[in-house]
Chains A and B, each alone.
Chain A
């Protein structure tokens, strides 16, 4: 018996270290991706020119990605204006009328849409908006991004509202408030930190997407704030410039990647902070 127990303890130790080792292994790519992006991106991203100027032909110094930052901002901004209100109202419907047969279809559609390949959404937006207009536009890119964001917003809104205790709703109804006022003026504000978290996560995801805007926003080498025209975005710069043979453009791609990662992680981390604060406040209630 002692032998058997030794063997069991030995096996346990091996398995435990394997689990710890594999967990460590999982974090190595994070460190490597962030490390390389910072080291290779800084030479380009450290110049103020990079945030002021637009792309320049190879060999001319002072190139920048200001037009791509603006383009990303405009496309993601329009997409948020479309997706967040629709997503929040859909989420409210899912919770308020959860028992309806309609709600389960909406939930299923949202779950399936989350897994829709982003390139297919790009093709969808191309066929619907670019082909009839015969030219690429920032607006069509924004619509593709909105399709991508919508299911994320719906499901996080639903999850955030579901966390609100039923007693809040019941006390509102007991006071004779109509259902819509209870939902919009009591429950929604209480759930707002969770909803904001979901919206920020959706924004971060949209800002990093390339595939849906490849043939909608398309990219633009010059300064453009008009969403009816082709528009550049940070992910498009990274994608196109990384695949060129010119070291100067590759450096620009790394710089754009660094700016993109910094923006996306900043939005992501601030959403965590909002959620954390809500959990702490809920703990005090």
Chain B
């Protein structure tokens, strides 16, 4: 609009120069994104050309014979992230419902700050806490009783270990909770006030209003929040590495040690020598980054769509 008005030539030139300068700086983020993908791909080429698509579906991991397959790590990543989501979604939505409510601003402010501080705690601190406190507790109070009573169900079978897929999932659930509850709260708050008011005016209770009106209206946004949290869980490295047990196998039970894509890179990358071994690790990173980017994009689209529909 403003550019359409005739202005002195110098002014227009300086405006154009400003646009170009800031654009040149703003290129950094997309360039980095492309750069990461290209650099990782190039480093992974030896492994990609040697193993082909079989890399994704075989489960050998032997640095001595140079035989590598990503399946145990893909399995560990998928199992821990999905379990974490299953644990965290009910809690996260409850927190979001609590925070989106009106009144008692002091209490809600305090709870909101508390949940956000949960996001501020470094991953490695969760790791050391999980290793020395959470995992032993889960072992003696959850894993042992469950596997001794329900061990006949395959995925609960014993013998349980102190470090396991299960402990890693619980830590992950705590770590993704802030993302889940913050995004869900925003989505719930974006639901038009009129919906809530009409429901209450019709005599619905608090629960009926939320369960039958608010949550259905916010459904796809909450789904987006869950997927966003899933993206976080997939890429989480350090805390998981410290409690998952680091064993490149596909265990039948969630109480057994496993391995994830991110944690095998963290543990083995500095020790990897030769050409194929590091390339295989980088290819794991490439798989991880592709999954994380896709998941993130889907989540963004979902959250944005809900926010624009409800607005």
Contact = CB atoms under 8 A, between A and B. Distances in A.
Interface of A: 8-9, 11-12, 15-16, 18-20, 22-23, 25-27, 29-30, 32-34, 36-37, 40, 86, 89-90, 92-94, 96-97, 102-103, 105-106, 108-121, 123-124, 126-128, 147, 150-151, 154, 173, 176, 178-180, 183, 204-205, 207-211, 214-215, 218, 235, 238-239, 242-243, 250, 253-254, 257, 260-261, 264-265, 268, 272
B29, B118, B177, B266: which has the most chain A beta carbons within 10 Å? B29
A115 B235 contact: yes
A124 B32 CA distance: 10
A17 to B, nearest CB: 11
Interface in B29-53: 29-30, 32-33, 35-36, 39-40, 43
A86 B39 CA distance: 22
B250 interface: no
A117 B40 CA distance: 13
What's the interface size class on B, roughly?
35 or more
A20 B90 CA distance: 12
A119 B237 contact: yes
B308 interface: no
Interface of B: 2, 11, 14-15, 17-19, 22-23, 25-30, 32-33, 35-36, 39-40, 43, 90-92, 94-95, 97-98, 111, 113-115, 117-118, 120-129, 131-133, 174, 177, 181, 205-208, 210-211, 228, 231-232, 234-238, 242, 262, 265-266, 269-270, 281-282, 285, 288-289, 292-293, 295-297, 300
Interface of A is mostly: helix
B36 A116 contact: yes
A108 B297 CA distance: 9
B125 A118 contact: no
Given A12-B208, A90-B26, 13 more contacts: A11-B207, A22-B90, A27-B114, A86-B25, A89-B26, A93-B25, A120-B289, A123-B40, A178-B11, A205-B120, A207-B122, A214-B266, A215-B270
A123 B285 contact: yes
A101 to B, nearest CB: 11
Contacts of B126: 33
B23 A115 contact: no
Nearest to B108: A23
A35 to B, nearest CB: 10
Nearest to A117: B235
Contacts of A205: 120
Nearest to B286: A120
B285 A93 contact: no
Contacts of A109: 29-30, 32-33
Contacts of A90: 22, 25-26, 28-29
A261 B121 contact: yes
